Amino acid sequence: MRKKRFPKKSEKESRDTRSKPTKPRRKPVARKKDLTAPPKNEPIRLNRFIANAGVCSRREADQLIADGSIKVNGKVVTELGTKVSRTDEVKYKGRVLKSERLAYVLLNKPKDFITTVDDPQGRRTVMDLVAKACDERIYPVGRLDRNTTGLLLLTNDGDLAKKLTHPSHKVKKIYQVSLSKALTKEDAAKIMNGVELEDGEATVDKLAILDKSKREVGLEIHIGKNRIVRRIFESLGYEVTKLDRTIFAGLTKKDLPRGKWRHLKEKEVINLKHLS
C-alpha cells in the first residue's frame, strides 16, 4: 500500500510554524532610596525642613508642629503634612531656621589626591573627584594622607562630622597595611600593647596577619591622630608601602571602585547617627 505523500511546506511556512523562543521577562529593578532632595523651588514637608535645619528628627519635628512650636511666615502652624518652600520663613523658639539638603558622599580615594577643600599649591584634591556629586558644599570627614587610599566620607552635616571624628565615640576604622618586611611576633605584640609616640600612646583594637609573607597586615583602630597607622609601624622600623582604609564607621568599599563615589542610603545615614 502506497503511503500518502503530502506536499512539502515552503521554507517560509516552515519558519512560521517553528516554535519561537520566548524571551525571559526582566524583573523590575527596585530603585534604591537615596537622600536626594527635590529641586530648590519645590515645596517640601515642614518636618523635613526642620530636620534638615538640624533641630531634630522628622518624627520629633512632627511633635513640635503639633505642639504649636513652629511658625511659618509669622503664623503658628499645627497641621502635620504642611509643605513649605525654601523661601518661606520658618521659626522655632524665635530663631529663623535655614534648611539645606544634607548630602552624604562616600568616596573610594585613590593615591595622589590631597584631603582638603582647597590646596594653595594647586595639587589635586578629593574635591576634584566629587565635583559632580551634589550642589551642596560638602567637606571631608577626617582625612587620609596623599598616599593613602580607601574610604573617605564627605558631608555638609556638621553635627555628624563632629561625632565621627570625636575620640569619645570610638569610630571603628580598618586598614590593610603593606609593609617593607615581615612583621615579627614581638613587634605585633608591642603594637597590641600600645606604642608610645611623640604625641602619646597609640592604641590598637585588633591586628591580623593576612598572608604567609607577614607583610600584609589588617589593623583596626578608633583613634584618629595624624598619620597614626604609618607612625605606629615606622616607630618599630617598618616602612608602610601601601595603606588602604577598607572600613569606616561600618561603611565598606563594596561595589565602589577606586576613584568613584556614591551617595549614602538612608539606612546608612541613620546607622551613622546612632553610633554610640
What is each CA distance from 104 to 17, 157, 174, in whole angstroms? Answer: 57, 8, 20
In a domain, 230, yes or no: yes
Q: How many domains does the chain have?
A: 3
pLDDT in tens, 231-248: 999 999 999 999 999 999
In a domain, 262, yes or no: yes
Question: Structural domain of residue 67, as residue ranges?
Answer: 44-97
Would you place residue 31 in the very low, low, confident or very high pLDDT band (cuts 50, 70, 90)?
Answer: very low
In a domain, 213, yes or no: yes
The answer on 244 and 196 residing in a single domain is yes
The CATH number that applies at residue 81 is 3.10.290.10
What is each CA distance from 252 to 22, 77, 170, 172, 261, in whole angstroms? Answer: 40, 42, 17, 12, 12
Write down the pLDDT at residue 70. 95
Annotated catalytic residue 128: no
The answer on 114 and 89 residing in a single domain is no
The answer on 144 and 111 residing in a single domain is yes
Out of 16, 145, 199, 211, which one is annotated catalytic? 145
The answer on 265 and 154 residing in a single domain is yes
In a domain, 30, yes or no: no
pLDDT in tens, 189-206: 999 999 999 999 999 999
In a domain, 10, yes or no: no
Cell triple for 200:
602619646
The answer on 265 and 149 residing in a single domain is yes
